[in-house]
Each structure stands twice: as C-alpha cells, then as structure tokens.
Structure 1
C-alpha cells in the first residue's frame, strides 16, 4: 500500500516534468546564444579574415614570373655569346692571305668583262684608300720608307737679323728655333720696381728697331730670383715678373712693334739660369728675355681699323 496519495504523486511527477522542460529550454537558449555569437563574430571579422588556402593560391603567380625572368636572362646571355662569336653588325674583320696566295697575289681575271679592267679611272673617282696609297712615299726593297729629307733648319746670323748695332748691353742667343734677347733687370728697372729706367728705355728702343725688321712672333718673359718680395704693389715675385714683362711689352708697342706679335709672361723664380746660392747667380736670374720664334712663318700685320666718322 503506497504511503503517498495519488494526488501527491501526480504533483511530484508534474514538478519533475516541468523541471526537465525548464532544463531543456535553458540548454536550447544557451545553444542559440552561442550560435548567434559565433555568427556575429564571423560577420564582424569576415572581411579581415583570409583563408590560408586562398593565400597559398595567390602566390602561384610569383613562380611563373620568376620562370619568365630566368628565361629572358638566359636568352640575353645566348644573344651576347652569338654576337661575340660572329661580330657586331657592321664590324669588318681583316682578311689575311695565307701561304702561296699571299706571296703571288690573286690570279688575273680573264672572263667576259676582263676588258673593263684596262679602262683608266680618273684620279677624282679613285677610292680614298687608293689616293692615300698613291700619295704615300715610296718604300725600298727592305721595307724602309724612302722620302726626301727636309732641309735642316739653319741658324740665322746676327748680321742677317740686324743685330750688329745692338751693343753689349743685351745678350743674344741664336739657335735653329729662336733668337733670345736677354737683358738684366738691373739695367731696366730699379730694385723692386716695374717702371723702366731711362737706360732701360734706350735699350728697348734699340730692340724695337731690330724687331721691326721682321714679323716673327715675340714672347716677352719676366724672371726673378728666389728672394721673396711682399709690398703694397707686388704680393710676390709672380706679380713683379709679370709686371716687368708687361712694361717692356708696352714700350715695344709704343716704339712701333705690332701688338699682334707680342705676348707677356711672368715666370717668377721658376726658370733660373744660374744658382741662387750666390749674389752673382741671383743677379743673372733677375732678367727679362725677348724670345723671337723663327720656326713659324712671320704673321701678317692686321689690317688697320677704319677711321670713325
């Protein structure tokens, strides 16, 4: 006999069924929430997420690109090798005759058009190589060039240049290429100055008379010793030697020598003719030289400028 009444047992069973339904409902609601969360997260990060399989497929083009570059490089190497083997376009290679052909030459042509070989070709139609070969000097049997030797240059005499009346104040050096007029600075200038003295003016006038007898080019060169100079007018021996050469040039122009024949150069102490260790050597190095170049043909005097109206 049951101690629990049917009505109580029924209520207990209903409560248990309700509890089971509530548990199932809770489980169902939890599953839906997880599904919604996973779906929402997927929607939120879907555009930032890249599948690994897609990334692997996207790198396949790189392999094809590298294969193409490798093929192009190989083709360039082959083309370069072929060009080196056969020569570049337009490049002519010398033809060498070997053996008996080089000694005896090519056989004469006696074919159908052999009579045209006997026609004389005017010189102006000849090829440049043939013209140059014809103009070349004749060669001897042993291969040496036989040419007419140019007559050696002969040093002019002082009489032919009109130097007899120059006196002993100027040293004249005559050779096959030039005539040098060497004047001591002590005769031309005061110490540390670039203005010609009265004695220097007289010497330059006599030199101008000599130079006016010809039309050779003349270089006026100033030289000094190694003793340094530093004044308000001349900062070094370069300025002093250049100014002295320019003073002589200006005086030559005043005395009638054409300015187109002259140039002035200052060498300072860079071209000594004696040792600078002694007073006599330093005095010899302090000089002005007029060098007349006799190897070049005389330069024609420029035409006078038209007078201004």
Structure 2
C-alpha cells in the first residue's frame, strides 16, 4: 500500500503582499487628500485674513475716535509744547497728556500766559462741531512729593484745582464747548506714569516731571450720557416760569 501524498495548500503564501499594498495605497491616498484639503484651507484662510484686515483697517480709519486723533495730532505738531505733549489711542477714546510745567508755574493752579496760545489752538480743534458728541474728562496728576502751601494742603487740592483751571479755560464762549461735556478728575500722585524713585530709592526728577501732568480723555458720548446732559441744559431765555395764580377773592 503506497503512502498517500500530502495535499498541498491551495493558498499562496504571498497573498498578504497584495493586501499590504492595497492598505499602503489607501493610506497614501488619504494623506494626499488631507494635504490637498489643508492647502486649500490655508489659501482660503489667507484670503479671509487679508479681507478682514482690510475691512478692519477701513472701519478704524473711518471711526470718530481715529478722526479726532488725526486732528489732534495735526494740532499738537504745531504747538510750542509739542515736545512735552503725548497722545495715546485707547479702546474707548483718545488720551492727551500735557506736562504740568507747560501749563502752570510751580506751585500754581493758574494757567500760565505762555500756555494760552497753545490751549486756544487745541480748544478750537476739539470744539469743532463734528466732535461735539465727545466727552472731555480733564485729569490732574502730581508726583509723590508732598505739598502744604495754602490753598494746596495736599496733592489732591493741587491736582483738582489745576484740572478745574483747564476746564474753566476750555469752557469760554469763544470755543463753543458746552460745559456739560466736561468732567474734572483729581488723582494726585496715585496714577504715576513712571516710578517716582529709582532702583536705589532716590527721587527720580525726570520721572517726577513726567508724572506731573494734565490728561485729557476724550470719549464718544453714550446714549445715557447724552440723555443726562440734555437734562442739564439751561432753560431757554424765553421760557419764563409760569406766573402764580392770583388768590381767589
């Protein structure tokens, strides 16, 4: 009786190579597709970003805040005190810092004669009709050195009276700025722009001079501000109070 031959398997031992090749092909196709989509998205992203930047820049250039800053920069560049005046753009408005030494004599809250021409030019610019919807907060700031020379018993009085003096100047009739646009704020030495003392604890005269300033903060009037200020307007001259009724006979 012969020995039966072992039946050979019909499976090809190299079949797995075909499956592997298919998987590699699918993976390559997947990554090629992902890269293609990514490139399209990047192009689209760059286009969107460029469009947004253009639109944002256009809106900013047309905003009232940007417009008033442009006018103020033009005026400040023509002032004698331009080297001691700085302008900053905030989210809600424009801030202009005048060095106190440019506006006042030491220990005084009276506007110095040398400052009048510059303040007049500035007031005419801010008093333009197109900016009449802006509120003007005038802030007084001092350095940390104490003062006790009546009527300034502290830096609070000095900063308050200097800010009030600037408001009084701007509210003159020739500048056409309604008094209800103004606000006076006194901060004394509490909000310095620079440390009043150096690393060794010695007074820094340059920093102190920078901290002594009058800040003007110009912000667009909100609806509630507009309503409140309308109520504060004086009554027309011809709106006389109603006459009292005569007593009954």
TM interval, short-chain normalised: 0.5 to 0.7
Task: Give unmatched runs, 5+ long, in structure 2.
Answer: 1-54, 198-203, 241-249
Matched residues in 1 for 2:156 and 2:166: separation?
Answer: 16
Contact 2:69 2:94 in 1 (8 A): no
User: How large is the RMSD of aligned CA atoms in angstroms?
Assistant: 2.6
What does residue 218 of structure 2 align with? 292
What does residue 306 of structure 1 align with? 236
Matched residues in 2 for 1:202 and 1:273: separation?
Answer: 27
What does residue 261 of structure 1 align with? 181
Task: Give unmatched runs, 5+ long, in structure 1.
Answer: 1-150
Contact 2:75 2:122 in 1 (8 A): no
Matched residues in 1 for 2:117 and 2:168: separation?
Answer: 14
Range moving further from structure 2, 159-168 or 184-193 = 159-168
Instruction: Give the drift of 1:158.
Output: 5.4
TM-score scaled by structure 1?
A: 0.47
Contact 1:261 1:299 in 2 (8 A): no
Give 1 or 2: higher strand fraction: 2
What does residue 62 of structure 1 align with? none
1:56-81 Cα offsets, whole Å, 9 max, x none, are xxxxxxxxxxxxxxxxxxxxxxxxxx
Contact 2:147 2:155 in 1 (8 A): yes
Contact 2:99 2:213 in 1 (8 A): yes
* Cα pair distance change 1:172/1:161, threshold 3 Å: same
Larger relative contact order, structure 1 or 2 (CA cutoff 8 Å, min sep 6): 2
> Counterparts of 1:105-144 in structure 2 under 5 Å?
none
Instruction: Give the drift of 1:207.
Output: 2.1
What does residue 178 of structure 1 align with? 93
TM-score scaled by structure 2?
A: 0.57
